[in-house]
Structure 1
Amino acid sequence: MKTYIKLAIISILISFTACTDVIDVEVQTAAARLTIEASLAWEKGTMGNEQTIKLSTSRPYFGSHTNSGVTGASVIVTNNADGATYVFEDQNNGDYTTTSFVPVLNGTYTLEVIYNNETYTATERLMPVVDIQDLTQSRKKGFNDEDLEVNIIFTDPEEEENFYLFKFRERDDLLPHLEDADDEFFNGNEISWYFEKEEDNSTDKIEAFVPGDIVDIEFYGISEQYSNFIRILIEQSGGTGLFSSTPVPLKGNCINVSNPDNYAYGYFRLTEMVKKSYTFQ
């Protein structure tokens, strides 16, 4: 009987082993493209002279390369009104920096990047932003009326169309949470914009804010064109769902004038911003 049982077990193991097939999945690849992270932000109360532009190349999702910083490029920003040029120095790690940038609200600037004998350009306006009047907390504005949320209070200018970007990061968190807004439905009014923690897609749980938690807040004025870009990017970064659009490569405003087919990823934006922190009570 014991011999029969042993033979049966061996037979089952052989059957499972024989049914194991190696499946090779062909993953789509694409040529590496230049990625331009040129977000020049002028924090209220500072000179705004120190700015950084990051250049890298796109990488395969399943690739093993960790450093894709681009070196040896030429990076220049020009004020279109007075012709002043600001050369961003290569730091040999993908960062290009300057300490002499002069920000002018509503001024128009042009970025020029020369890399691998190809020239990329983009033009954008430095968008202003209003001050944050107050930061408060509540439990009544979010999806869960028992959870704490922080409220950002500001007054939207009535005489113009405005677009905003909020960046929220709980202290010590790795990634921020981004939200975009425009004043189509609250033009000229005092606004209380709230932020509460969202459901964790990996655990389907919400870990609400508790007293003592600190949230760092950045509030930007942005152009309509950049608002359209960042809105799609936020939607795609949130993953796919029943009513979500299929993620696609997202083109920014950086144009390759030498070879249009070899377009770049990324965006050149200029913005005034307000930075605040809030500690929950």
Structure 2
Amino acid sequence: MKAFLSFILLLALCTGCEEVIDLKLDSQEQQLVVDAALDWEKGKPGNEQKIHLSYTNDYYTNQPSETATGATVLVSASGNETYTFVDQGNGDYVCRDFKPEPDKNYRLTIDYKGKRYTSEDRMREVPELTESNITQRSDGGFFKDEIALRLTFPTQTDGDNYFMIKVAYMKENNKKSRVYAVDDKFDSDGKISRSFTGSNIGGKFLKGDEVEITLYRVSKQYQLFMDLLIANSLDDAQRGRPMFTSPVRVYGNVVYEPDPKQNPFGAFRVAQYSKIVYIVK
């Protein structure tokens, strides 16, 4: 009984003496973020493209990121074409007469507040996906008890086989998705195969689910960039590294040539993609 009364007294002292501690957290200077993904769906015109410029934000804030307006944004293709991306006043820069072409080099130029940021990438043709590229199994997952979808597609003979795969589907009225960066490093038979289970995305695949699979063909540099971003988004156990290890800053391919330390966040890509919606059986 005496021990119980002592516990009640201790509890009262703990709950009755609350003190709010105001932590003063360091805030770094805002940095430019470039979201310049010019994606062209195979078989579609691809004429309307958008680039978004914004700033980094404090980690604990609930406020939206500040947008960057007033920049001059151009994309030039190998040849004589130069496309102007018009400032929309909200961080978006839009071009409606873009003409994507396979095997062409594209150069991004951003002039903003007295600085010029540049990047280059090459458009590569992606294999076209059909339902024949997907195999469904029922022995997927850690316990071999869930539906798995296996995507198989041919690689190109040019040896430049770097891809990004996005898998998305609706679960409990929310769209769940996950991105994978892949290459043919461990595939030597002229094709790449990867398997996906719903439990790694947001919940097990069920019969009747519509699973959208999008395959982008990207450059090696961009694939490595995405690989690092994906690794940083996983927890320590998923990364296979010691607990509480801080993620590293990921540098993209947009550069400020006079001082690489001032390179912005984000990256530039020009990518053709193929998309299929698969109904789980």
TM-score, normalised to structure 2, is 0.86
Residues 60 and 67 of structure 1: CA distance in aligned 2, closer, same or farther (over 3 Å): closer
Cα deviation digits, residues 115-149 of structure 1 (max 9, x gap): 22211111111122112252332123544422112
CA distance in 2, matches of 1:261, 1:159: 34
Gaps of 5+ in 2: none
TM-score, normalised to structure 1, is 0.86
How far is 1:274 from its partner? 0.2
CA distance in 2, matches of 1:14, 1:151: 58
Q: Is the 8 A contact 2:256 2:262 kept in 1?
A: yes
Alignment match, 1:267 = 267
SS of the equivalent of 1:236 reads: helix
Residues 253 and 199 of structure 1: CA distance in aligned 2, closer, same or farther (over 3 Å): closer
Equivalent residues in 2 for 1:7-156, closer than 5 Å = 15-16=13-14, 20-79=18-77, 81-133=78-130, 134=132, 135-156=134-155
Alignment match, 2:188 = 187
Alignment-mate amino acid for residue 256 of structure 1: Y
Alignment-mate amino acid for residue 126 of structure 1: M
Alignment-mate amino acid for residue 59 of structure 1: N
Residues 144 and 221 of structure 1: CA distance in aligned 2, closer, same or farther (over 3 Å): farther
How far is 1:263 from its partner? 2.1
CA distance in 1, matches of 2:197, 2:17: 49
How far is 1:16 from its partner? 2.4
Alignment match, 2:160 = 161
CA distance in 2, matches of 1:14, 1:189: 70
Q: Which moved more, 1:115-124 or 1:172-181?
A: 172-181
How far is 1:107 from its partner? 1.1
Alignment-mate amino acid for residue 214 of structure 2: E
Given the alignment, which residue of 208, 226, 230 partners 1:230? 226
Alignment-mate amino acid for residue 149 of structure 2: V
Cα deviation digits, residues 122-177 of structure 1 (max 9, x gap): 11111221122523321235444221122222122244131111001113544520
How far is 1:78 from its partner? 0.6
Q: Is the 8 A contact 2:212 2:276 kept in 1?
A: yes
SS of the equivalent of 2:89 reads: coil
Residues 91 and 175 of structure 1: CA distance in aligned 2, closer, same or farther (over 3 Å): farther
How far is 1:211 from its partner? 0.7
Cα deviation digits, residues 258-278 of structure 1 (max 9, x gap): 554432000001111001111
Alignment-mate amino acid for residue 16 of structure 1: C
Q: Which moved more, 1:145-154 or 1:133-142?
A: 133-142
Q: Is the 8 A contact 1:75 1:114 kept in 2?
A: yes
CA-atom RMSD, angstroms? 2.5
Alignment match, 1:3 = none
Alignment match, 1:4 = none
Gaps of 5+ in 1: 1-6, 201-205
Does residue 210 (structure 1) correspond to residue 211 (structure 2)? The answer is no
